[in-house]
Structure 1
Amino acid sequence: MKQLFCALWLGLMTTLAHAADLPKRVVSLGGPLTEVIYALNAGDRLVGVDASSLYPAAATKLPQVGYYRAFSVEGVAALNPDLILATDQAGPPAALKQLQSLGKRVIVLPGDATLDALEQRVHGVAQALGLKDDGGKMVAQIRQQIAPLQGKAGGLKTLLVMNRTGKLEGAGTDTTADAMLQLAGAKNVLAAQKGYKPLSAEAALLLAPQAIVTTTMSITASGGLEAFLALPGVAGTPAAKAHRVVVMDDLLLLGFGPRLPESLRTLLAGLQAPAS
């Protein structure tokens, strides 16, 4: 009996010690990571997020530390986190090193827009937080749900543009935007281009996209949908004439996180809608 009691006591002490080591004050640098944290039911650990963390609504009520690509070291440190989760797109790198020099635990996860990288993000977050749920079920469901959706756009010539500064920028390869078009089976008319680059009206007309995909923030920056359709780089394209313009929430379209199946369904619904 005494041996059994000792074994139970040691087990309890080990559990309590493990619980004490679990991070309880977490800062997330990146909207997609924040979504993963909430999807794993660990949102109560968050004490701060970056400006791209717009989903779920609870995340928008937390203190912000700037945009993840140029976050405030002082802002993060002031929240006294015991864990900082970031992707390899967060930075600048010197800022992450500065946090480490302050004794902060920083874990950097892959930010690529691929299913394998998404799986690594989910498992990485779960492991860093010491969760019993390692995210395996979530990842399996994501893969299962997107499998029948892939390639359904049938090679539709598509242009994905952003309007952040009043000037259109088109998305080429090596972007999450391009990865989404590839998943959907749409043909990116800017596949010969790498990254985001300014798009002239002349170039857009020559590309002759059958569909245009953009974000809600881009529509707002343009002054509304009708104003967007009247932009020199949009008006005159087959997509604009047919009103085949897909407008999606920025993070839903470009997050490549737990809501990926919803994002792909929404994108396909817009691309497959009858032209008007």
Structure 2
Amino acid sequence: MKSVLRACAAALMLAATALAAAAPAIVITDGRGATVRLDRPPQRIVSLLPSLAESVCALGACDRIVGVDRYTVWPPSLQHLPRLGGGLDPQIEAVVALRPDVVLVTVASRAIQRLEALGLKVIALEPRTHDEVHSTLRTLGTMLAIPAAQGADPIWARIQQGLAQAAQAMPARARGQRVFFDASRGPVAAGEKSFIGETLSRLGLVNIVPEALGPFPRLNPEYVVRADPDLLMGGERSLGESGVPYPGWSALRAVQAGRVCRFAGAQADLMIRPGPRLAEAAMVMANCVQRLYP
């Protein structure tokens, strides 16, 4: 009987090996336009961009992530993993030591060529709009061998539902108000076509930074003074405690009226993550606006 069981087990292993060998390779075109070929879905993933780690986890593959960049904080289950430096300049030796099947990076990373030269598979993605968040989820689903209909598309449908709920939570008198979102010190604006700008539009707000200036343009602070928005938004690191991080901003009508949404800590991180928590960020924005426009 034991010999029969051993024979069956061996046959199953051979069949599984044959199926794996027969499975078609996974071919992905990343954000650089580069083609990346994987023989099988990766089981060891290094993510060097927070939104990509969040997306992999949303797709149900959190357990495949073996290392992250220093800024990845969600979900909490990733916090015990090795920290591999910044996304732009990761600790190459530490990445290699983890023996990843694939490394996920931002398109702007300076480490891509070196990682590839060391024989690692690198997929560079950098979603900047809502549509690109959706397409990134689909790309990662393809990488993980999860059909879009079972992974990316249901996640995207839930995001859309959450965005609609956040829009419904907006006070009527705030609709049409002109807003400036300071995405980073500079100021670096969240333009109309950025994922943040598109969220603001879904909430019924009017962005003072038009699409023509790009998703995240660096502006002269005087631009904001001249535009004089009704509402100011941004992280505490860029806006500071008073909302007056630049000369002349104390005269802004938003500052004068106390209409400043200043996001700190986890909420500030949430605002700049173009991933599966878009709707959660939108609701945080809507809740702040509710307080400012009672």
TM-score, shorter chain, exceeding 0.5: yes
Alignment of 1:120-199 (within 5 A): 120-131=135-146, 133-147=150-164, 149-150=166-167, 154-162=175-183, 164=185, 168-173=187-192, 175-191=194-210, 193-194=213-214, 195-199=216-220
Distance, in Å, in 2 between the alignment partners of 1:230 and 1:140 is 38
Using a 3 Å threshold, how does the CA distance of structure 1 residues 12 and 193 change in structure 2: closer, same or farther? closer
Offset, 1:163? 5.1
Q: CA deviation at 1:58?
A: 3.0
Worse-matched range after superposition: 254-263 or 137-146: 137-146
Provide the residue aligned with 1:102 in structure 2.
Answer: 118
Equivalent residue number for residue 132 of structure 2? 117
Q: Does 1:206 align with 2:226?
A: yes
> Aligned pair 1:269/2:291, yes or no?
no
Identity %: 27
TM-score (norm 2): 0.73
Shift of 1:43: 1.7
Amino acid at match of 2:62: G
CA separation of 1:127 and 1:117: change in aligned 2, threshold 3 A: same
1:88-110 deviations in Å (ceiling 9; x for gaps): x3413xx3233223221222345
Relative to structure 1, is the Cα distance of residues 216 and 129 closer, same or farther in structure 2, using a 3 angstrom cutoff? farther
One-letter code of the match for 2:262?
A: V
Gapped regions of structure 1 (runs ≥ 5): none
Instruction: Specify the SS of the correspondent of 1:54.
Output: coil
CA RMSD of aligned residues (A): 3.3
For these two proteins, the number of residue pairs brought into alignment is 259
CA pair 138-90 structure 1, distance change in 2 beyond 3 A = same
Structure 1 position 45 matched with structure 2 position 60: no
Q: 1:237 aligns with which of 223, 243, 252?
A: 252
- 1:129 maps to a residue whose letter is L
- Map 1:218-229; keep pairs closer than 5 Å: 218-219=238-239, 222=240, 225-226=241-242, 228-229=243-244
List runs of 5+ in structure 2 lacking aligned partners: 1-7, 24-38
Deviation of residue 48 (structure 1)?
A: 1.3
2:27 aligned residue: none
